């Protein structure tokens, strides 16, 4: 049985890497990585938002989010402002440039996802997602 589980783990890992690479190539002309895209998308959906909240939203650890935010700040895609309610909290928002690129990137990401999941029904994807969540819960 062990070989069977190893093969499933290998297939899932290999597919995840291929998906990441495919998305990375799709958005490469924007000089944005899939990780940076997920942070931009999270900021857009919830702005203004703290870095801690972005880490939770993207399911990334805080140091990773901090590095991504620093890069996005240098690229002038986001701005950081001090919260008026709590000066210990910095809030992130998109710049006009960031808003424009996020809109353009969304179209590319959606087209890429349509290509990745071509021929897979919504029901199959929902079942697959449920299975992945179940496995994830088992190993937490």
Q: What is the pLDDT of residues 66-110, one digit of tens each?
A: 999 999 999 999 999 987 888 888 899 999 999 999 999 999 999
| Residue scoring higher pLDDT (67 or 3) | 67
Angle between helices 96-116 and 34-46 (to 10 degrees): 120
What is the longest distance spanned by two Cα atoms in the chain? 57
- pLDDT tens, residue by residue, 21-63: 999 999 999 889 999 999 999 999 988 999 999 999 988 998 9
CATH of the domain spanning 1-139: 1.10.10.10
At residue 113, the pLDDT reads 93
Question: Is the per-residue pLDDT at 3 higher than 80?
Answer: no
- pLDDT tens, residue by residue, 122-136: 999 999 999 999 999
- Structure-block tokens of residue 118: 């071509």
Question: Is the per-residue pLDDT at 1 higher than 80?
Answer: no
At residue 140, the pLDDT reads 83
On whether the pTM is more than 0.85, the answer is no
At residue 2, the pLDDT reads 62
At residue 7, the pLDDT reads 87
Residues 6+ apart with CB under 8 A from 81: 48, 90, 91, 93
What average pLDDT does the structure give for the chain? Answer: 91
At residue 115, the pLDDT reads 95
- Structure-block tokens of residue 36: 């940076």
């Amino acid at each position: 049985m062990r070989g069977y589980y190893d093969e499933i783990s290998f297939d899932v890992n290999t597919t995840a890497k291929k998906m990441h690479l495919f998305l990375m190539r799709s958005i490469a002309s924007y000089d944005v990585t899939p990780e940076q895209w997920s942070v931009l998308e999270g900021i857009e959906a919830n702005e203004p938002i703290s870095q801690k909240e972005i880490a939770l939203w993207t399911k990334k650890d805080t140091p990773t989010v901090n590095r991504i935010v620093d890069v996005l700040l240098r690229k002038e895609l986001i701005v950081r402002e001090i919260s008026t309610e709590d000066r210990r909290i910095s809030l992130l928002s998109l710049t006009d440039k960031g808003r424009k690129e996020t809109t353009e990137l969304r179209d590319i990401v959606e087209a890429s996802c349509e290509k990745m999941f071509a021929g897979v029904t919504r029901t199959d994807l929902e079942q697959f997602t449920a299975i992945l969540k179940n496995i994830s819960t088992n190993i937490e």
